[in-house]
């Protein structure tokens, strides 16, 4: 008799446990929300979408804002479906995390405004302003002799990418240790410093890897920098030291778009 009672109790416990499990599964499923944003489907949790009170998404989920449904019964939002992943990542992480090279700040700021996410909108606009400021700042590259800094060339430009292009080409050539090129050099963020600089002597040369152009002497390097700048759409604003009477004999070049 006792064994039968224990068996029945065990069966009741199992049914109760299964009932609780099914209720938990049901609660979990109802907490998942599928959004159709411009044709892209996103599945996330209700608590993610309602993280910021008075936001557009919080209003939809809590019934404050009317939202149409697609043919499958998902909320349909007629916005940029690709950019929405950044909106959703912000809701998940609580901070703005964008991929390297992201260039759609203005569009993302508009999306953030639409979804009434002021914190995100402010973060995007701040990032955009910093990028705009950085693009206007003049950067430079200095190629110099560690023993005589008067021997060298300074290249100024308001585009860091262009400075990086010239720098990378010269560094590549330096590492190849071609005949007549200085073997010992150091590189910092804006300076390439040689232990023994290229002198204006017959036979000294360096080869720029991009087109295997032979560049002889410092003066020819200046011409090469000018040609690279013109090909990239820059113009020579001025020779920063015109007292020597010629661009070729100046110590610095300034490019701008």
Tokens 């003066």 belong to residue:
219
pLDDT-derived band at 255 (thresholds 50, 70, 90) equals confident
Q: Residue 48 contacts by C-beta under 8 Å, 6 or more apart in sequence?
A: 88, 91, 92
Q: How confident is the model at residue 72, as a pLDDT?
A: 94
pLDDT tens-digit readout, 14-71: 555 555 555 555 444 468 999 999 999 999 999 999 999 999 999 999 999 999 999 9
**CA-wise closest residue to 153 among 249, 256, 257, 255:** 249
Residue 25 CB neighbours (<10 A): 10
139 vs 162: CA distance, rounded Å: 9
Whether the predicted pLDDT of 146 surpasses 70: no
pLDDT on residue 61: 94
Structure tokens at 85: 């992943």
Domains and CATH numbers, the chain: 32-135 (3.30.710.10), 140-172+183-256 (no CATH)
Region 150-164 average pLDDT:
77
Average pLDDT of the residues in 72-101: 94
Q: Counting every residue, how long is the chain?
A: 257
pLDDT of residue 139: 77
- 8 Å CB contact between 142 and 190: yes
55: burial class by Cβ within 10 Å (0-12, 13-18, 19+)?
A: buried
Question: pLDDT tens-digit profile of 203-217?
Answer: 444 444 455 544 445
Q: Report whether pLDDT(149) > 50.
A: yes
Query: Residue 230's CB: how many other CB atoms inside 10 A?
Result: 12
Question: Does residue 4 or residue 170 have the better pLDDT?
Answer: 170
Nearest CA-CA partner of 64 in 116, 113, 13: 116
Q: What is the mean pLDDT of residues 123-144?
A: 77
The residues, any chain, with a CB within 8 Å of residue 115's CB and separated by 6 or more, are 55, 56, 57, 79, 87
């Amino acid at each position: 008799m006792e064994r039968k009672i224990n068996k029945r109790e065990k069966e009741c416990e199992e049914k109760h446990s299964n009932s609780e499990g099914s209720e938990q599964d049901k609660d979990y499923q109802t907490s998942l929300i599928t959004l159709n944003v411009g044709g892209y489907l996103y599945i996330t949790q209700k608590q993610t979408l309602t993280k910021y009170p008075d936001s557009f998404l919080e209003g939809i989920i809590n019934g404050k804002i009317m939202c149409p449904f697609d043919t499958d019964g998902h909320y349909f939002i007629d916005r940029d479906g690709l950019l929405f992943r950044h909106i959703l990542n912000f809701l998940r992480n609580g901070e703005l995390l964008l991929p390297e090279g992201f260039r759609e700040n203005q569009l993302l700021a508009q999306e953030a405004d639409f979804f009434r996410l002021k914190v995100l909108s402010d973060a995007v606009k701040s990032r955009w302003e910093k990028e705009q400021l950085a693009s206007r700042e003049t950067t430079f590259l200095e190629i110099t002799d560690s023993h005589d800094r008067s021997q060298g060339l300074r290249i100024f430009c308001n585009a860091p990418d262009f400075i990086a292009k010239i720098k990378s080409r010269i560094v590549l050539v330096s590492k190849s240790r071609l005949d007549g090129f200085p073997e010992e050099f150091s590189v910092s963020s804006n300076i390439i410093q040689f232990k023994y600089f290229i002198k204006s002597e017959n036979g000294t040369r360096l080869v720029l890897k991009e087109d295997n152009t032979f560049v002889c002497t410092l003066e020819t390097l200046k011409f090469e920098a000018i040609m690279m700048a013109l090909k990239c759409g820059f113009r020579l604003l001025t020779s920063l030291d015109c007292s020597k009477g010629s661009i070729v004999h100046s110590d610095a070049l300034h490019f701008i778009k």
